[in-house]
């Protein structure tokens, strides 16, 4: 067999194994689920406390789920939680996986694949990000309207699983307009300042240099982070509706740059958490079906 043919056969075997693992993990969730949620929430750095607002029905650590990688980052607890917001069933991911932890992009997006196969229809994502837009301040929230993938990796590379989505998925609207409009209205109703802008995802784990911040800003990005984009690509590939909100945890202005400490990032996330909870809870209540309905 030619070398190219051998590589193609190996890739096909690899994707079949991956698909099997995704299906086994999704089946496990079906068996464990007290309800059948159609909405999932991914909670980023320092934002896991949103779970305190939920009526929790079941908590499953990543290590207890078939084939799930383990979260290794401080403030990412690594749990899937079945619960209810305003009595609407949700599946919350408390903590996430990043490429800088050493995971491949396929491994890092494994939970999103599982949620898609499980039957999730809409995904609300939060993340901590550095603000490059001079109008943004620490503790502010930004509703993502678009993104730039600057991680050097794409979870769709390799053989495509047709039942998951098309070979060349459209990305003209990665962030669902209807969900964004709902979040905007909730923000207005509750007097929450909600910026809008573009998120650029980089590999990390180091923060950027002043020259890199200038470059990323010139590219058209308003905030920078190390997650979210691979998850959104997979979610959209599978037809899930997506909304994402960034918490501005540090101000990344090249001419006034100061060292950032993780304690300050977590403090900014805590400051923004009540408003983020209001926005997510409001959107969930509008798109989900209460269990007693």
Domain total of the chain = 1
Integer Cα distance of 273 and 151 in angstroms? 27
Query: Is-above-0.85 flag for pTM?
Result: yes
SS3 assignment, position 102: coil
pLDDT at 76 over 70: no
pLDDT (average), residues 44-66? 83
**Is 69 within a domain?**
yes
Q: What is the pLDDT of residues 143-163, one digit of tens each?
A: 999 999 999 999 999 999 999
**Is 293 within a domain?**
no
Q: Which residues pair with 242 in a beta bridge?
A: 123
pLDDT at 3 over 50: no
Q: What is the pLDDT of residues 207-218, one digit of tens each?
A: 999 999 999 999
Burial class (CB in 10 A: 0-12, 13-18, 19+), 259: exposed
Mean pLDDT of the chain: 91
pLDDT at 5 over 70: no
pLDDT of residue 186: 98
Burial class (CB in 10 A: 0-12, 13-18, 19+), 168: exposed
**Is 201 within a domain?**
yes
**Is 42 within a domain?**
yes
pLDDT-wise least confident of 55-59, 215-219, 224-228: 55-59
pLDDT at 60 over 90: yes
**Is 207 within a domain?**
yes
Q: What is the CATH number of the domain that holds 157?
A: 3.40.50.1580
pLDDT at 283 over 80: yes
Burial class (CB in 10 A: 0-12, 13-18, 19+), 158: middle
Pairing of strands 88-94, 223-225: unpaired
pLDDT of residue 72: 63
**Is 292 within a domain?**
no
pLDDT of residue 52: 81
Integer Cα distance of 271 and 140 in angstroms? 9
Quick one: how far is CA 194 from the chain centroid? 18
Q: Is 268 left (phi over 0), alpha (psi -120 to 50) or beta?
A: alpha
Q: What is the pLDDT of residues 253-281, one digit of tens each?
A: 999 888 888 888 888 888 898 999 999 99
123 band by pLDDT with thresholds 50, 70 and 90: very high
Helix 3-32 vs helix 110-118: crossing angle, to nearest 10: 60
In whole angstroms, how far apart are CA 110 and each of 5, 68, 122, 293? 27, 7, 17, 32
Q: State the residue range of the domain holding 211.
A: 3-287
Percent of the chain with pLDDT over 90: 74
The pair of three-digit structure tokens given for residue 198, joined into one six-digit string: 């573009």
The pair of three-digit structure tokens given for residue 17, joined into one six-digit string: 């194994």
Residue listed under structure tokens 């990000």: 129
Quick one: how far is CA 271 from the chain centroid? 20
End-to-end CA distance of the chain: 59
**Is 21 within a domain?**
yes
pLDDT at 195 over 50: yes
pLDDT of residue 263: 84
pLDDT at 1 over 50: no
Integer Cα distance of 89 and 118 in angstroms? 14
**Is 165 within a domain?**
yes
């Amino acid at each position: 067999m030619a070398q190219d043919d051998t590589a193609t056969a190996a890739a096909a075997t690899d994707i079949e194994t991956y698909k099997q693992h995704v299906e086994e993990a999704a089946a496990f969730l079906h068996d464990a689920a007290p309800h059948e949620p159609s909405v999932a929430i991914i909670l980023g750095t320092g934002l896991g406390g949103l779970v305190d607002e939920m009526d929790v029905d079941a908590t499953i650590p990543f290590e207890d789920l078939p084939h799930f990688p383990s979260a290794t980052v401080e403030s990412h607890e690594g749990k899937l939680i079945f619960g209810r917001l305003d009595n609407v069933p949700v599946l919350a991911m408390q903590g996430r996986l990043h490429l800088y932890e050493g995971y491949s992009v396929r491994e890092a997006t494994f939970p999103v694949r599982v949620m898609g196969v499980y039957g999730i229809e809409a995904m609300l994502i939060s993340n901590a990000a550095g603000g490059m837009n001079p109008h943004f301040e620490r503790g502010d929230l930004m509703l993502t309207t678009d993104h730039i993938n600057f991680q050097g990796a794409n979870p769709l590379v390799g053989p495509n699983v047709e039942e998951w989505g098309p070979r060349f998925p459209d990305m003209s609207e990665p962030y669902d307009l209807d969900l964004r409009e709902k979040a905007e209205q909730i923000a207005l109703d509750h007097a929450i300042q909600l910026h809008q802008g573009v998120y650029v995802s980089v590999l990390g784990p180091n923060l950027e240099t002043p020259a890199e911040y200038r470059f990323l800003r010139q590219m058209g990005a308003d905030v920078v982070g190390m997650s979210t984009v691979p998850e959104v690509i997979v979610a959209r590939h599978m037809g899930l509706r997506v909304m994402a909100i960034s918490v501005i945890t540090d101000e990344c202005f090249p001419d006034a740059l100061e060292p950032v400490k993780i304690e300050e990032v977590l403090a900014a996330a805590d400051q923004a958490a009540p408003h983020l909870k209001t926005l997510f809870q409001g959107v969930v209540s509008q798109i989900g079906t209460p269990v007693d309905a």
